[in-house]
Structure formats: C-alpha cells, structure tokens
Amino acid sequence: MRSAIQHLKKDAVLAKIVKAVGPYRMEYGAPKFENLVRSIVYQQLHGRAAAVIYGRLREAVGEEELSPTGILRLRPDRMRKLGLSAQKTIYIRELAKHTRRGSVVFESLPEMDDATVISHLTQVKGIGVWTAHMFLIFSLRRPDVLATGDLAIRMAIKQAYGLDDLPKPAEMERIAAGWRPWASVACWYLWRSLDTAR
C-alpha cells in the first residue's frame, strides 16, 4: 500500500489530504450476498440510521449469515416494519430471487473484471452503478474504482479542489486521471477528508 500512497501524493491536493487523514485503514467485507444486501440498506441513508435498520433485518431473519431463503421467508410488510422503504424491500427481495435462481452468482464475481461485475449486478432491479462500485471497493477489494455516483466523493472533490459546483463524472474522471491505478484508495482518503474537515 505504500506504493499506492506515494503515487497518490504526486497530486498536491491529495498529498495534503493524506497528511491530514493519516494512515490508510480501509475496512473490507466478503463478496457475499449479505454484504450486497447491506449496501442496499445503506443507500441514501445516514450511517447510524442504516446500521439500526440493518441490525433489525438480521435479527428478523435470525440467521448467522443472511441468505436469499431467509430474506424471502420475511413478508414484505414485515420488512417495511423494520424500517426499510417500499423500494428497498423490493430491491432486497429481487436480489434474493436472482441469487436463489442463479442469475447472480457471488462465487463467480472475484473472477470477473470490474465492468463485468457492474453488468452482472445491475441486472437486478435497484442495484445501480453506485451499489456495484461500493461492492467492488469494499467486498471485491478492487484498487482502481472511481465512485463517480457517490455524493460524498463529489462533495470532497469540490471542497478539496476548490470547484464552484459538484463535479460531474467526466470532470471527476479528468481530475482522477493521475490517481490511476489507485482510485479506490483516493476515494477512501476523500471520504475521510470530510470527517477531518468536520
């Protein structure tokens, strides 16, 4: 990881962020069904609120590790009472159905390239590119994912690079060109930079 940090520090803005944030400490999960369910629960929610809802879901399913069968045993109205929106309830159930029938195969994902993983996951209603990016970074440990749809990353880039507006994907790609092949590491530092600023 030292070589990644040294590479990113060639960008003067990122060098300041690295210094302010400190050592790189990405926390990873396994590339499993339950971690993708977790990503869906966390979509567009504050971390603490999402953690409470996810905890309730795990408790309601009553399994050591969430499974498609366990999810589908819960009725949709029960899932709603746990704090899930109607949409997220549909999305999680769709993922469970795809996984159970074998149209999403988690065991195959580590062998796929990033673009194929995105294509494979986004066939499921409710799983967009943002969720696929998060899975690539945090579960598949891919080092070079630029989370162009992540609001916090856009805010961090705007703040760090002194932009007037939130950057669109094309501008983000331009700014990030020098970060390659370590865009995921840069994203982690950008997320943490918002914490440091607060």
Enumerate domains of the chain plus CATH numbers.
2-26+146-197 (1.10.1670.40), 33-138 (1.10.340.30)
Q: Tell me if the pTM is above 0.85.
A: yes
What the block records as the tokens of 140 is 């598949």
Could you give the CA distance from residue 42 to residue 61 in angstroms, rounded to a whole number? 18
pLDDT value for 56: 96
User: pLDDT tens-digit profile of 94-140?
Assistant: 999 999 999 999 999 999 999 999 999 999 998 999 999 999 999 99
**pLDDT (average), residues 35-62:** 89
Which amino acid appears at position 38 of this protein?
R
Query: Could you tell me if 197 and 159 are in contact, meaning their C-beta atoms sit under 8 angstroms apart?
Result: yes
Count CB neighbours of 150 within 10 A.
18
Could you give the CA distance from residue 43 to residue 85 in angstroms, rounded to a whole number? 11
